[in-house]
Structure 1
Amino acid sequence: MGDHSLEAHTSLLDWVARHGGHIDNSVRVAQDASRGVHLQVKADWPQPISKETRVINTPLAVTMSYFNAIEYTCARGSFSSHDVVFPRAFIDAVGPEETTAFFLMGQYLRGAEGFWYRYLRTLPQPGQLTTPLFFGEEDVDWIQGTGIPDASVQRYELWDKKYEESISALEELGFENTEEYTWDLYLWASTIITSRAFSAKVLSEAVEPSDFPEDGVSVLLPLIDLPNHRPLAKVEWRAGNNDVGLLVLEDISPGEEISNNYGPRNNEQLLMNYGFCLANNPCDYRIVKLGVKPDSPLSQAKARQVQMFPELAKNTDNHYYIFNVFYPLLAPNTAMEHSIFSPALFNALGIMQANERERNMLEITEAGTRIPAVYGNGHSTLAALAQISFELIAHIEILRASAEGLSQPANLNQTHTQIYRNSQITLDETALIIATWTITRARTHDRDESWGDIKTLLNEHMARVPAGLLSEEILSRTQVRILERQSLLPKNGELFRLGELFALLPSEMQGPTQSCFSHIIEQAGQAIPTLPSDPQALFAIVICLLVATHRSPEARPQLSSRLTRWVEFLFEQYPSPGNDSGFSEADGRHTRRQLGEFVRTQQSSTWPPKTGVTWLTETSGWLDPNWLQWAWTVADAEMVLIPLEPLAILAAEGPVAIPKQACLYVPQE
């Protein structure tokens, strides 16, 4: 058994025709080295076939499903078991999915005497399948470092459990020839169903709606499963009372292949389920596992969502995806960042990276949970992008490291796995370019949001991508993806390094305030060696200076509306310090405790005049222990750790350490 020849498929076509099926006169079954056996419009056909052409008609009499196993009959139609009959107790015990697998095994075991013989012999046979569960030892080396090993183990364990339960049920019922239903044959049958079966919708006109099992039914459709997969191919499977038709919904020229469309499958799904991958798959994306702890803010948010909307408990899919830049199935108004990082992933990371004030504004609806996009909440967006960037860098390094020692593919399994690996790296690289683009804009303070400035800044950003790393088509599409959609953060310049914060002050105040800050660090640094390397402490001192300036009646009228709104926002979000809210003697942070002790012992009111900061007094609260403690809390909540020179990974040949840089988030108005 096992014949992939054109002759075997011609015999299959004859068999289907005898039961009332056919292919359209305009098409033929063809075969070549690259596409195997496939369907195409005849080269000598006088014109393209038009949309709505029914190219294949498969009668319900030759379909195979759970309904055959139970010999279903109703006023609409009937399905024969064709001499493979299982005890009803077995069918009820294992359910439709396992019944279908064992039914397929039983029909295979009948060989040439079986009703579906001419169909089954055209399928890949046991030992011929190319999904990862059937990889040889050398093939397995090619999937290391990817998501395939974990997915394969999960599938193997699940199928092993189901097989053992099913075979035990058959043995307990005294079913004859149970020993012929082997584990290897079960693996084959389950893989055939996973890779070729259609949904129960194709039987909707022949089965009463109330008779469809809740878990669904998989249906094998001889002939209709013959065309190869092409992403975005415009086809429709149309159910009828006596047949199922495959209709093309686009014009196809003479000599061109007629393709099926398995849906928007990424390369991991194609490899796991079908045993092949597609180079330049527009529907490719990567599934991200967040590893969320049960007591995390995200878990708590999801638990509250389920309490509010109990029906959501049935949906266990998270939809945490990173899309490639060609991904076509996007809503028209999808934000630029969401066109690469699925909203579910982005919102989940936003909740995980948000500070407490942002989480207090958490929005929970049936559609999802998210931090709302209002003034001040860009912190969670930038923190999410930073975390995504670190994850992308780590994943790129894992894929590169696991590929060391691999040479040229030696067989088809390795060829498809190489395509999968390369597509994953390219997907990560383009996603990193886009994630760090928004961070770059947040770090840019000398450009506005005009089209000209954005284009110039984007050209500078893209210039950091090593020449030749990505094709011109991918680079161009990456830029289009950035420019064609509105960013979640429409304003530039919301992340500040330490020295940049002084630019928030009027120009005449910047120099004196910097001198005052330097004087503080010089004096305090002698007593606290760790101070210059503690970003939270340094940011706290600058915040304290800025807030004290805002509290100064002399200085406040001169301040920009941006600085004024930000400081007043902080007052609203963080309780003003009381007389006893300063640094505790038992404070766990060594630098913080030392800084508190230092400011208590200094005549700090004499410092500002010496450095030209004449508008600060003791009553403005500058370096008051209570205000400094308050500023420390603000710094801790409003800092964002971003990758420094993240695109350096693109040019690296080996592992590279990407340091983190602390920035303070100051929203635009």
Structure 2
Amino acid sequence: MVSSADRQGSGHSLEAHTELVNWILSQGGSLNDCVRVAQDASRGVHIQVKADWPHPISPETRVLSAPMGVTMSYFNAIGFQSSQISFSRHGVELPQAFIDSVAVEETTTFFLMGQYLRGAEGFWYPYLRTLPQPGDLTTPLFFGEEDVDWIQGTGIPEASVQRYEIWDERYEQCMSKLEEAGFDGLEDYTWDLYLWASTIISSRAFSPKVLSSVMEASKVGEDTGVSVLLPLIDLPNHRPLAKVEWRAGTSDVGMVVLEEIGPGQEISNNYGPRNNEQLLMNYGFCLPNNPTDYRVIKLGVKPDSHLSRAKSRQIEMFPDMSNNKEDHYYIFSVYYPLLGPNTAMEHSVFSPALFNSLMIMHANDRERKQIEISESSMSIPSAYGNGHSMLAALSQICFELISHIMMLQASAPERQRQPENLKQTFAQIYRDSLLTLDKAALIVATWTLKRAREHQKGETWEDVKTMLNEHLAQVSEGHFSPETLSRVRVRILERESLLKRNGELFRLGELFSLLPVDMQAPGRDWFNNILAQASQSVPALQTSPQALFSIVVALLVATGRSQQARPHLPARLTQWVDFLVEQYPVSEVIVEESELLSQLNNFADTDNAYSIASQVGVDWLSDVGEWMNSKWLTWAMNVADSEMVLIPHEPLQILAAENPGLPKLGCLYVPQI
């Protein structure tokens, strides 16, 4: 179960595989008449439907089989026998004390090492000689110093070190146990051979369920640690989404195709929805344009964080959740096919678990009070006002994507440098796939933020297409193939967004558009005058988005509370004002001691704000009373702090400029009705 290119080294000849087929047939296996073993430069040794076969093979065709007697597993190492089956050791006798003291996986690994050392005398020699030999493997544990340069900045080096340390510790323990048992020939069981055998098992072994027809269920469960090597059945190359099944009988294990395959076409295996990191780590190859590619995200959640507390609450409610150690935090390729038909557009690229967790992490206090916890998920429900956490989560995703893209670009080998071997070639494919995945995901995330910032265009199908064309026009040529860019477009248009309406994020000057047209100019004039005068006594005001937003919020909320003005206000503004006053009770305001707020309060406590209002035509607040005093200004500062979202400024510049940085833009969240 390795890539075609991995089969092109020594020992992977068509002749050797033909001898393997003959051996399998002599042991009672089969190869369908419609199938042949072939070899070419692009796919290496593989199996295909014969080119001169008169018709496509139909689903449910059994293309090949391996008899139970040629399988290799832990049961061979222990010489298991029952009334149904007998698994022979075939000349490798591991000490019983060793078998009793180490894990099932290690017994199998050392048994494979022993069979390899038997060479041509071994029962499995026709099979083992077709496998990648110790010098042929291309997984990262076999990378040289120059090869490692190609995976810097990715998650592979860390994963490789972790695996190396685990395997090294296990090897030393096993060697110690064999030495205690006085095992002959111990010096031949080298670290290099152990590394090879462990890699072969991790990359080629099948689930123990393939033995389920001849073994008790308790012996072949997924948690038993049993892995099974299936000669010949592991020959077909991997193709994502290939429809194939392995069916266990009482005498053999067969490979059955579940789709029509035409004459001359390759018959592929399917390892499952593996991403390129898994393929490289476990199998030593990658796939360009892998449709099932995704990137695992680590959030680095602190123990005292809101998300950690929500998780603790979930475990209290559902104790069995304590056994679930895996967080499903993924960023998917835009080609990823395994999605439910009603999956939201954002969730089709950013897994629901990741997205919901980020919403909880970046929600404000009022949103966190509404967290819904079930056995399968934790989320902030969709409701009026809760779009803040969704947009904040998207912003954080954008920052992470931009940082990761910049890191990948900075750590890449020099552009003129070309791969010099198969390991470097696969590493480059892996790195390029990460960049493509991140850049496509960035387009999707920024699309939703673009809509949230759009206050002019409507929401008709034509409006959406116009906005999307403008959005994609920012992507310069060379970042994506036409197929990938088309897929990004389809992913955006084919699925409903979590953002139901445009225009929920406002820059400072845009907030005045919430007022009726005749109030907008006086409102802006009032703010500009306030800003000009306050800047002299409050110099830090210009650098504090929170303080600037609070001044405008104070005006808008006062307007919404005015009985004189209220009948003339848009429903969106009055509903928002009522919502803020309800969610942030003025009675609970405590005036803070910060220097900025103190200076601003001192300025506001004078008559400046009110006299300027009368001068510029803000004459609709006469019935409100004080609305720029210390209490209301402190209240507005709290609101601005909670309802503000920091989004990336010009985020697609990462696709057009070198080292664009991460400038942030403060926006205030104002929900649509």
The correspondence of residues 448-527 of structure 1 with structure 2, limited to 5 A, is: 448-527=458-537
Show the counterpart of 2:669. Answer: 665
The correspondence of residues 23-172 of structure 1 with structure 2, limited to 5 A, is: 23-172=31-180
The percentage of aligned residue pairs carrying the same residue is 65
Calculate the TM-score normalised by the size of structure 2.
0.96
Separation in 1, partners of 2:302, 2:81:
49
- Among 613, 634, 641, the alignment partner of 2:618 is 613
Separation in 2, partners of 1:617, 1:161:
79
After superposition, give the CA deviation of every residue in 1:23-49 in whole Å (9 maximum; x if it has no partner): 111111111222111111111111111
Show the counterpart of 1:536. Answer: 546
Q: Secondary structure at the match of 1:258?
A: coil
Residue 312 (structure 1) aligned with residue 321 (structure 2)? yes
Residue 440 (structure 1) aligned with residue 444 (structure 2)? no
- 2:563/2:623 contact within 8 Å kept: no
Show the counterpart of 1:395. Answer: 404
- 1:551/1:620 contact within 8 Å kept: no
Separation in 1, partners of 2:96, 2:369:
55
Separation in 1, partners of 2:449, 2:341:
24
- 1:577/1:627 contact within 8 Å kept: no
- 2:65/2:254 contact within 8 Å kept: yes
CA 549–249 in structure 1, closer or farther in 2 if over 3 Å, else same = same
Q: Secondary structure at the match of 1:257?
A: coil
Shift of 1:478: 0.6
The one-letter amino acid of 1:51's match is P
Q: Secondary structure at the match of 2:141?
A: helix
Calculate the TM-score normalised by the size of structure 1.
0.96
Separation in 2, partners of 1:375, 1:87:
68
- 1:63/1:219 contact within 8 Å kept: yes
After superposition, give the CA deviation of every residue in 1:320-353 in whole Å (9 maximum; x if it has no partner): 1111111111111100001111111111111111
After superposition, give the CA deviation of every residue in 1:538-560 in whole Å (9 maximum; x if it has no partner): 11111111111111111111111
The one-letter amino acid of 1:661's match is L
Shift of 1:619: 4.1
- 1:495/1:664 contact within 8 Å kept: yes
The one-letter amino acid of 1:506's match is P
Separation in 1, partners of 2:199, 2:535:
67
- 2:99/2:107 contact within 8 Å kept: yes
Residue 236 (structure 1) aligned with residue 241 (structure 2)? no
After superposition, give the CA deviation of every residue in 1:568-602 in whole Å (9 maximum; x if it has no partner): 11122212236xx4534xx2x33222112222344
Q: Secondary structure at the match of 1:490?
A: coil
Show the counterpart of 1:553. Answer: 563
Show the counterpart of 1:259. Answer: 268
CA 256–289 in structure 1, closer or farther in 2 if over 3 Å, else same = same
- Among 413, 423, 436, the alignment partner of 1:413 is 423
Separation in 2, partners of 1:527, 1:158:
63
CA 470–497 in structure 1, closer or farther in 2 if over 3 Å, else same = same
- Among 629, 643, 653, the alignment partner of 1:638 is 643
**Alignment gaps of 5+ in structure 1:** none
- 1:548/1:620 contact within 8 Å kept: no
Shift of 1:174: 2.9
Show the counterpart of 2:3. Answer: none
Q: Secondary structure at the match of 2:485?
A: helix
Show the counterpart of 1:192. Answer: 200
Q: Secondary structure at the match of 2:255?
A: strand
- Among 327, 332, 355, the alignment partner of 2:336 is 327
- 2:59/2:259 contact within 8 Å kept: yes
Separation in 1, partners of 2:16, 2:130:
6
Separation in 2, partners of 1:463, 1:404:
29
Show the counterpart of 2:654. Answer: 649
Show the counterpart of 2:4. Answer: none
Separation in 2, partners of 1:609, 1:256:
82
Q: Secondary structure at the match of 2:665?
A: strand
- Among 269, 277, 302, the alignment partner of 2:286 is 277
Separation in 2, partners of 1:329, 1:127:
36
Q: Secondary structure at the match of 1:39?
A: strand
Separation in 2, partners of 1:239, 1:427:
38
- Among 414, 421, 438, the alignment partner of 1:428 is 438
Separation in 2, partners of 1:312, 1:175:
45
Q: Secondary structure at the match of 1:286?
A: strand
After superposition, give the CA deviation of every residue in 1:606-636 in whole Å (9 maximum; x if it has no partner): 3321121112248444112111111111111
- 2:553/2:636 contact within 8 Å kept: yes
CA 603–458 in structure 1, closer or farther in 2 if over 3 Å, else same = closer
Separation in 1, partners of 2:536, 2:623:
23
Greater shift in the superposed pair: 392-401 or 612-621: 612-621
Residue 226 (structure 1) aligned with residue 230 (structure 2)? no
Separation in 2, partners of 1:232, 1:212:
26
**Alignment gaps of 5+ in structure 2:** 1-8
- 2:452/2:505 contact within 8 Å kept: yes
- 1:283/1:327 contact within 8 Å kept: yes
CA 60–462 in structure 1, closer or farther in 2 if over 3 Å, else same = same
Separation in 1, partners of 2:467, 2:565:
35
Shift of 1:460: 0.8
Shift of 1:603: 5.2
Separation in 2, partners of 1:120, 1:606:
91
Greater shift in the superposed pair: 292-301 or 189-198: 292-301
Shift of 1:661: 0.2
After superposition, give the CA deviation of every residue in 1:67-101 in whole Å (9 maximum; x if it has no partner): 22222233442322222232344323322212211
Q: Secondary structure at the match of 1:641?
A: strand
Show the counterpart of 1:352. Answer: 361
- 1:235/1:247 contact within 8 Å kept: yes
The one-letter amino acid of 2:154's match is T
Residue 248 (structure 1) aligned with residue 283 (structure 2)? no
- 2:70/2:124 contact within 8 Å kept: yes
Show the counterpart of 2:577. Answer: 567
Aligned CA RMSD, in angstroms, stands at 1.6
CA 76–332 in structure 1, closer or farther in 2 if over 3 Å, else same = farther
Shift of 1:665: 0.5
Separation in 2, partners of 1:619, 1:441:
35
- 2:212/2:220 contact within 8 Å kept: no
- 2:211/2:220 contact within 8 Å kept: no
Shift of 1:489: 0.8
Show the counterpart of 1:290. Answer: 299
After superposition, give the CA deviation of every residue in 1:102-137 in whole Å (9 maximum; x if it has no partner): 111111122222211111111011121111110112
Separation in 2, partners of 1:224, 1:182:
28
After superposition, give the CA deviation of every residue in 1:394-421 in whole Å (9 maximum; x if it has no partner): 1111111112425111111111111111
Greater shift in the superposed pair: 632-641 or 213-222: 213-222
Greater shift in the superposed pair: 210-219 or 383-392: 210-219
